[in-house]
Amino acid sequence: MLSVYRPAPAPDRMHSRRLARPGGGATKGRVPVPASIAVPALNPVPVLPPTLPQLLAAAIAKGGSAPFLGVRTSTTRDRSLTFAEFGVAVDNAAARLADAIPQGARVLVQGAPGPGFAAAVFAAARAGVILVPLDPRMTLDNIERVAVLTEPVAILLGAGSVLEPVTSAQLAHLPVIDLDDIIDTPSPSAIAALALRRTTGADEPMEILCTSGSTGNPKGVTISQTMLLASTARCLATIPVGNNRFVSILPLSHIMEQVAGLVYSVAAGAETEYITTLRPDVIAAAIKGHRATALVVVPQVLELLFGAIRREAERSGSGTMFRRALQMAPLLPMSMRRRLFSKVHRALGGELRLIISSAAHLPPSLQRNWEALGIEVVQGYGSTEAGLVSSNFRDRRPTGVVGWTLAPIELRIEADGEAVVRGPSVFAGYWHDPVSTAAAFTPDGWYRTGDIAEFDGTGALRLIGRTRSMMAMPNGMNVHPEDVEAALVAEGLVEPVVYEAEPGRIAFAFRPNAAFSVPPADETAALTVAVRAANRKLATHQRIDGRAAYPDPDFPRTHTRKVQRSAVAARMAGIPLSR
């Protein structure tokens, strides 16, 4: 039987939906879903213009002189643009692209977030070219395979890029265009070339976002303006328009950053400051200097920042008081929590009230820690292929779930527990890959997310694991490593990575001297205690048999800082386990 949640478009009523409990052996131990549930009243999804150039034109008409985009590469801001100035930058970039790139051709892009990269996203649609953004961490081998797939005619390189095309026979012949200079005044011939261009249609590809290709040939997700704007509209329902000032940390090669850090800011009239490093001092300086009201981050950044706050409390001699305040804060209203941690808020500019977290699992304990400080944490769920699918809301922030879908997005749980989705934010297919495209969709056209999930009693989505990461035990039972990791995180561990060391033997990798959110005096002894406590909570077939220190300084990660589980498991092969 299938579980389906189709949110009604009217946001101001309570709705009842019949949801069946997902079946399949991997769902043992789930809380049953009631036959009839009351769905909370949800925010409306606004209607936006159909293309990015039209969205930007509307934003400039509404508030062209308002500040829009800033960049910080150290502890001071380097550059700022108003909406009107950004519009000029986009016009300039579009003309330069039209002069250098044929209509419909692909161009590789790599660089740090900033005016050039942001303008290129909007300019690509205006000039009728297709961007192929490259993650800064992508290896040359992966980039070469992306180039084979997409057949680019040029490369846009900006500050922060690591690619050196001359070192690659595959790329050396391609002309290189300076990404940071693309917003400068174009030549008359470039302006004339743009006048002859056909703007990219709303449903035509304007970008190709590629997988890393670490284990094979990359797949290119075709991104249209309809997709980006559908996710942006959903983001507006999550974070209504207000005087928001964002600090964004993710690379613009990731769809979450393009939606929440760029296109949303245009649609909402918000101001965004980009930073190009994960150094806690620079992040804190950006939050304080920008007087940020909101952050768009991945969970690892939240862990990094909270760890820095905790260490500063210990360094200043107020560690015990800080820990006691964390325990007391959940009993207080948000305003009192902010007063309780007034020193922390002063260091963060005094106006940070909202954190948007997505792209990876957010441990409930980490969400509770930030909310204890008096900062609301809203979690979203989506993917490059599906866009923003669901989210919590500022007045509904339960831990352990990734929120509710809103029409026109529809979400369904298949009989095997996999969540499938359809709607305007879902992609049409992979670039020149009909086989992978067919495999990505159900026969009736729903995108297969690869996530095992269920609905709770309010219609909120709870993620359980990945279809590809599920471990089939020799006794016929299925184990989701995420369940085991959650039990360890509940005991204070940070990013334990569970893998099958041998058939039927569950183990986890940890980073030595960084295994716990609060460093213990004796890490080895603390790990033993944590494993015993976790095993008491886990079912017999889920219990941990051993652990091993990861031999490298950090786990392999995607560009959104998500741990690459399969790469960790391969690296741990043959490493002896401790009990």
CA distance readout (Å), 129 to 98, 208, 213, 219: 8, 11, 24, 19
Question: E-assigned strands of 214-300?
Answer: 220-224, 245-248, 271-275, 294-297
CA–CA separation, 466 and 541 (whole Å): 18
* Distance in angstroms (rounded) separating the CA atoms of residues 288 and 309: 14
Q: Where are the domains of the chain?
A: 52-235, 471-572
In angstroms, what CA-CA distances link 256 with 8, 449, 496? 25, 16, 25
Phi, psi values for residue 346, rounded to 5°: -65, -40
Question: What is the C-alpha separation between 344 and 75, in angstroms, rounded?
Answer: 18
Class of residue 464 by CB neighbours under 10 A (exposed 0-12, middle 13-18, buried 19+): buried
User: Look-up: residue for tokens 């917003």?
Assistant: 183
Distance (Å, whole) CA 448 – CA 414: 9
Count the residues in the chain: 579
- The pLDDT value recorded for residue 75 is 62
Q: Are 351 and 291 within 8 A, CB to CB?
A: yes
pLDDT, tens digit, 9 for 90 and up, residues 377-406 = 999 999 999 999 999 999 999 999 999 999
List the CATH code of the domain at 52-235: 3.40.50.980
Chain segment 42-66, per-residue pLDDT in tens:
677 889 999 999 999 999 999 999 9
CATH number, domain 471-572, options 3.40.50.2300, 3.30.70.2740, 3.90.1720.10, 3.30.300.30: 3.30.300.30
Tokens at 452, concatenated: 């095992």
Q: Return the DSSP state at 121.
A: H
DSSP H or E run through 157: strand 154-157
User: CA 113, CA 273: separation in Å to the nearest integer?
Assistant: 9
Strands (E), 372-496: 376-383, 387-391, 410-413, 418-422, 447-455, 461-466, 471-472, 478-479
Structure tokens at 257: 């950053």
d(CA 341, CA 224): 44
**pLDDT tens, N- to C-terminus, the chain (579 residues):** 455 555 544 333 223 232 222 233 333 334 333 333 444 556 778 899 999 999 999 999 999 999 999 888 766 667 789 999 999 999 999 999 999 999 999 999 999 999 999 999 999 999 999 999 998 878 898 899 999 999 999 999 998 898 999 899 999 999 999 999 999 999 999 999 999 999 999 999 999 999 764 446 889 999 999 999 999 999 999 988 888 899 888 889 999 999 999 999 999 999 999 887 778 888 888 899 889 999 988 888 898 899 999 999 999 999 999 999 999 999 999 999 999 999 999 999 999 999 999 888 888 999 999 999 999 999 999 999 999 999 999 999 999 999 999 999 999 999 989 999 999 999 999 999 999 999 999 999 999 999 999 999 999 999 988 888 888 787 777 788 988 999 999 999 999 999 999 888 999 999 999 999 888 999 999 999 999 999 999 988 899 999 999 999 999 987 777 888 889 999 999 999 998
Token duo for residue 238: 């999550």
List alpha helices for 113-211, DSSP H.
115-127, 140-150, 188-195
* Residue 262: DSSP 8-state: I
Cβ neighbours of 162 (radius 10 Å):
14
Q: Is the dihedral of CA 28, 32, 35, 36 positive or negative?
A: negative
Instruction: Establish whether the linkage from the previous residue to 205 is cis, with ω within 30° of 0.
Output: no
